[in-house]
Amino acid sequence: MIPNLQINPQRLWDSLMDTARIGGTAKGGVSRLTLTDTDRQVRDWLKEECERLGCTVMVDEVGNMFAVRPGRRSDLPPIAIGSHLDTQPTGGKFDGILGVLGGLEVFKTLQDSGYETNAPLMLVNWTNEEGSRFAPAMLGSGVYAGVFDRAYADSREDRQGVTFGEAIEAIGYRGAAKAGSVTFGAMFELHIEQGPILEQEEKVIGVVQGVQGMRWYEVSVTGREAHTGSTPMSMRRDALVGAARLIDRIEGIALEHAPSAVGSVGLIEVQPNSRNVVPGHVFFTVDFRHPDDTVLDVMERKLLAAIDEMAGKGSLGVESKKVWESPAVRFDADCLASVKKSAQAAGYQARDMISGAGHDAAYIARVAPTAMIFVPCAGGLSHNEEESTSFEECAAGAQVLLGAVLDYDGRGTERLN
């Protein structure tokens, strides 16, 4: 039976609004790129909040933060609650942040009531979930889960040539613990949906069954700079025209596998980027996603065929590389059962769903039982300063998170006994 404990919705909301000032933008969003000074500030804030609750805070070698609240039985592995505090350059107040601050509210609620869980609880802030400064995304949880190693993470560069290793040293969050050494028995992640389904169906809680597969690519197209006024069209080697044709094909590939497939070019750089110079070089990124990895294989082959076809024509040089691949993930049935039970106990309408976005839980599911809880966001809009989730929806998500963790804690002890 889930204990009748209630989170403090106003306290949760106040913490969301307070932390939104760290990196806050004029349009009401948040710009808090990973391992920048604003990231350091919000990390320092979280550390102080957790230590004030009597938690022990540890940091690993890639900056993942772990705050541990003791339980009645120290022989049991902790139950983790985790997400991220970094944002997109024009991000919102809730993406990832709700998962960390919702977990912090769970800790505060337990502290207020004097409730002692059987297993210790652990609050986690994963490094570089967004991947907006350092690609690939979910880098901190990926190193933790053994998908990447520390050397790979340290070598990642942002578009200004600063490495992850240099950045983490600069803000003082290179921890002593080896990645993966701070262990836990399961993890729950609360997150906004970042899509329109819950809002459209008037459901409050999404019970996330898994995450679709994702692949990221980088493409460089090389032509030749020339004067726009004196170079005949027939003699041009315009890298931007070539890139535009590839981008159009990328959209076509996604549409060929609709409605489940998506494909996007989200970053593009043109050189020399002068109004009277034919572009000589274009760099852009590709993001393909689908719930079925075999369909992603087909989409990848079509992309590479389009690149080979352009390169074969000879006027433009084209190079590509796959920089990230995250296979489709299914979450743990036991953890999901606790989420469903908690949602029902709290009186919220819920529905099963698959996540279209990537999350740290996708990597953690490789090394520990894991589940995710979604709440709606207005218009399904995310990665945008106008991202919005209501007071009531944030409260509902945190309440279901609390109940799910307590249910899993109780049932886990029963299994061991």
Q: What is the pLDDT of residues 156-206, one digit of tens each?
A: 999 999 999 999 999 999 999 999 999 999 999 999 999 999 999 999 999
Q: Are residues 166 and 242 in the same domain?
A: no
Render pLDDT for 81-91 as a digit per residue (tens, 0 to 9): 999 999 999 99
Phi-psi group of 107: left, alpha or beta (phi > 0 → left; psi -120 to 50 → alpha; rest → beta): alpha
Among 266, 291, 326, the domain-final residue is 326
Backbone φ and ψ for 92, nearest 5 degrees, come out as -110, -175
Q: Are residues 74 and 194 in the same domain?
A: yes
3 falls within a domain: no
Pairwise CA distance, residues 378 & 182, whole Å: 36
Q: Which domain holds residue 169?
A: 9-212+328-416
Considering only CA atoms, give the Rg of the chain: 23
1 falls within a domain: no
Q: Are residues 31 and 63 in the same domain?
A: yes
Q: Are residues 221 and 161 in the same domain?
A: no
- Reading the block at residue 44, the tokens are 């320092």
Q: Are residues 342 and 295 in the same domain?
A: no
Pairwise CA distance, residues 117 & 106, whole Å: 12
Q: Are residues 18 and 99 in the same domain?
A: yes
23 falls within a domain: yes
Distance of alpha carbon 323 from the chain centroid: 16
Please determine, for residue 413, whether its predicted confidence score (pLDDT) is greater than 90: no
CATH code for the domain in which residue 265 is found? 3.30.70.360
Q: What angle do CA 403, 398, 340 make, to 5 degrees?
A: 45
Among 326, 355, 378, the domain-final residue is 326
Work out the percent of the chain whose per-residue pLDDT is above 70.
99
Pairwise CA distance, residues 290 & 147, whole Å: 20
- Reading the block at residue 344, the tokens are 């029902």
Pairwise CA distance, residues 96 & 361, whole Å: 11
pLDDT score for 412: 76
383 labelled binding-site residue: yes
Phi-psi group of 163: left, alpha or beta (phi > 0 → left; psi -120 to 50 → alpha; rest → beta): beta
At 126, is the pLDDT very low, low, confident or very high (cuts 50, 70, 90)?
very high
CATH code for the domain in which residue 336 is found? 3.40.630.10
Please determine, for residue 345, whether its predicted confidence score (pLDDT) is greater than 80: yes
At 357, is the pLDDT very low, low, confident or very high (cuts 50, 70, 90)?
confident
Q: How far is CA 328 from CA 22, 64, 168, in A?
A: 34, 23, 30
- Reading the block at residue 311, the tokens are 């390169």
Please determine, for residue 417, whether its predicted confidence score (pLDDT) is greater than 80: no
199 labelled binding-site residue: no
4 falls within a domain: no
Neighbours of 214 (CB within 10 A): 23
Render pLDDT for 237-264 as a digit per residue (tens, 0 to 9): 999 999 999 999 999 999 999 999 999 9
pTM (2 d.p.): 0.86
Q: Are residues 176 and 306 in the same domain?
A: no
Q: Are residues 107 and 172 in the same domain?
A: yes
Render pLDDT for 299-309 as a digit per residue (tens, 0 to 9): 999 999 999 99
pLDDT score for 416: 53
pLDDT score for 198: 97
The mean pLDDT value of the chain amounts to 96
Please determine, for residue 49, whether its predicted confidence score (pLDDT) is greater than 60: yes
Render pLDDT for 316-327 as a digit per residue (tens, 0 to 9): 999 999 998 989
At 3, is the pLDDT very low, low, confident or very high (cuts 50, 70, 90)?
confident
290 labelled binding-site residue: no
Continuous segment of H or E residues that includes residue 371: strand 370-375
Q: Are residues 39 and 140 in the same domain?
A: yes
Neighbours of 327 (CB within 10 A): 13
Please determine, for residue 374, whether its predicted confidence score (pLDDT) is greater than 60: yes
84 labelled binding-site residue: yes
Q: Are residues 141 and 78 in the same domain?
A: yes
Matching residue, tokens 């993470």: 153
Q: Are residues 201 and 335 in the same domain?
A: yes
302 falls within a domain: yes
Q: Are residues 21 and 154 in the same domain?
A: yes
Continuous segment of H or E residues that includes residue 325: strand 317-326
281 labelled binding-site residue: no
CA proximity to 135, closest of 64, 215, 37: 215
Among 301, 326, 351, the domain-final residue is 326
Asked if 328 and 292 touch (Cβ cutoff 8 Å), the reply is: yes
| Residues in Cβ contact with 169 at an 8 Å cutoff, skipping those fewer than 6 apart | none
- Reading the block at residue 46, the tokens are 């979280």
At 414, is the pLDDT very low, low, confident or very high (cuts 50, 70, 90)?
low
Please determine, for residue 96, whether its predicted confidence score (pLDDT) is greater than 80: yes
Asked if 369 and 334 touch (Cβ cutoff 8 Å), the reply is: yes
Pairwise CA distance, residues 195 & 351, whole Å: 14
